[in-house]
């Protein structure tokens, strides 16, 4: 079994276990403010890291290419409060244009 | 289920459609990062949690191992467990119904349900089930479309998919950046992950940022 299948099955099994265990534990166990705060910060850290790694690296190398333009356009779209699909499409379109004609 | 409140129905449907449509971005991202169409669809059916799904394909696409992909996705899935804690006493379901409720316990179903609570406890429960099932149906349909579309593209860079993926992650994190310290954490983690990429094994620079978040959260 390759890495991709292991990832699909492992991620799915743990995702369900987390959801189900939430429905099965007493509410007061997890109401501590520090736990709530850490839980709010973890997605910020991981998603920001993913944005950066997916934009500025290729395998284990640092790289600046058309993705920097795509990300910049996405930031502008978000600052202009564009809806999510428009953010993604404008990033893709600008990046594709630079890649094809740059 | 008794008569459905029309405002609750409208809220649930609009959230389901909008959020479900992001499934196109996920399906395309999964295929662009080396997952098969079948694997992409199984992730949407079985994992059914957008941020976790994007994370696992992002980590493996960056060359990370299955273990670091699973760990990153699971850290993002913890919040669904916390939603379960909030929803369980409100839904009061057991057995098979609890299993189904758990699977559809995500940001959107919990959010809409809590938003309906001002109307009535009944509207709250309807909002949860309608939004949960609605997002599930649309998210999976759009995943198939995105995965097949990306597969048909060939060189994904010529279509900008290599930029669509980080833009999608950015769209997911953006609404969470409410304070300056949130923004500082985001930028710090981004810089850290890129700087560590040539040094640490693939996937680790991403998951290591979770420890930065834990350290910051416990100190404040």
Measured between alpha carbons, how far is B55 from B205 in angstroms, rounded to an integer? Answer: 13
Candidates A3, A29, A70; nearest CB to B163: A70
* Shortest CA gap B52–chain A (Å): 8
Instruction: Give the separation between CA B87 and CA A25, rounded to whole angstroms.
Output: 11
Q: Of the candidates A11, A71, A92, which has its C-beta nearest B159's C-beta?
A: A92
Predicted structure pTM score: 0.80
**Predicted local confidence at residue B168, as pLDDT:** 83
Which residues of chain B make contact with A75, given a CB cutoff of 8 A?
A: 170
Q: Are the C-beta atoms of B54 and B168 separated by less than 8 Å? A: yes
- Check residues B79 and A31 and name the one with the higher pLDDT: B79
Q: Over 80: is that where the pLDDT of B188 sits?
A: yes
Residue scoring higher pLDDT (B27 or A102): B27
Distance from C-alpha of A11 to C-alpha of A48, rounded to nearest angstrom: 20
Q: Are B59 and B72 in contact (CB under 8 A)?
A: yes
| The pLDDT of residue A12 | 98
Distance separating alpha carbons of residues B103 and B129, to the nearest angstrom: 11
Residue with tokens 């890129």: B194
What's the mean pLDDT in B132-156? 93
User: How far separated are the first and last CA of chain B, in Å rounded?
Assistant: 44
Amino acid A62: pLDDT: 94
- H-run or E-run covering A89: helix A84-101
Which region among B13-22, B102-111, B138-147 has the lowest average model confidence (pLDDT)?
A: B13-22
Q: Which of A92-96, B97-101, B158-162 has the lowest mean pLDDT?
A: B158-162
- Residue B184's pLDDT is 97
- The yes/no answer to whether this complex scores an ipTM above 0.85 is yes
Is a pLDDT exceeding 60 seen at residue B1? no
Query: What percent of chain B clears pLDDT 90, i.e. is strictly above it?
Result: 60
Give me the mean pLDDT over the A57-79 stretch: 94
The pLDDT value recorded for residue B14 is 84
CA–CA distance, A30 with A33 (Å, rounded to integer) = 8
Region for A22 from its dihedrals, namely left if φ exceeds 0, alpha if ψ lies in -120 to 50, beta otherwise: alpha
Does residue A84 sit at the B interface (CB-CB below 8 Å)? yes
């Amino acid at each position: 079994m390759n890495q991709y299948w292991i990832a699909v099955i492992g991620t799915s099994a743990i995702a369900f276990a987390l959801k189900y265990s939430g429905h099965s534990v007493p509410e007061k166990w997890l109401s501590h403010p520090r736990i709530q705060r850490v839980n709010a910060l973890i997605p910020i850290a991981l998603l920001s890291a993913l944005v950066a790694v997916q934009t500025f690296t290729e395998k284990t190398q640092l790289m600046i290419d058309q993705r920097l333009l795509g990300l910049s356009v996405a930031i502008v779209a978000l600052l202009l409060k564009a809806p999510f699909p428009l953010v993604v499409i404008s990033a893709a379109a600008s990046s594709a244009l630079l890649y094809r004609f740059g | 289920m008794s008569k459905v409140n029309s405002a609750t129905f409208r809220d649930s449907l609009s959230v389901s459609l909008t959020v479900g449509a992001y499934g196109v971005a996920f399906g395309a991202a999964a295929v662009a990062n080396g997952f098969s169409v079948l694997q992409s669809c199984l992730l949407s059916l079985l994992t059914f949690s957008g941020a976790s799904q994007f994370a696992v394909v992002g980590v493996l696409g960056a060359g990370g191992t299955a273990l670091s992909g699973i760990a990153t996705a699971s850290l993002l899935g913890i919040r669904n467990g916390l939603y379960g804690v909030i929803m369980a006493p409100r839904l009061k379901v057991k057995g098979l119904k609890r299993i189904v409720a758990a699977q559809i316990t995500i940001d959107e179903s919990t959010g809409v349900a809590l938003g309906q609570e001002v109307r009535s406890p009944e509207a709250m429960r309807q909002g949860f089930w309608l939004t949960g099932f609605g997002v599930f149906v649309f998210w999976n349909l759009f995943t198939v479309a995105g995965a097949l579309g990306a597969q048909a593209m060939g060189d994904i860079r010529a279509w900008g998919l290599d930029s669509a993926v980080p833009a999608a992650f950015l769209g997911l994190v953006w609404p969470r950046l409410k304070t300056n310290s949130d923004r500082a954490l985001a930028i710090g983690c981004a810089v850290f992950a890129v700087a560590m990429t040539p040094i640490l094994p693939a996937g680790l620079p991403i998951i290591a940022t979770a420890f930065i978040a834990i350290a910051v959260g416990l100190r404040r």
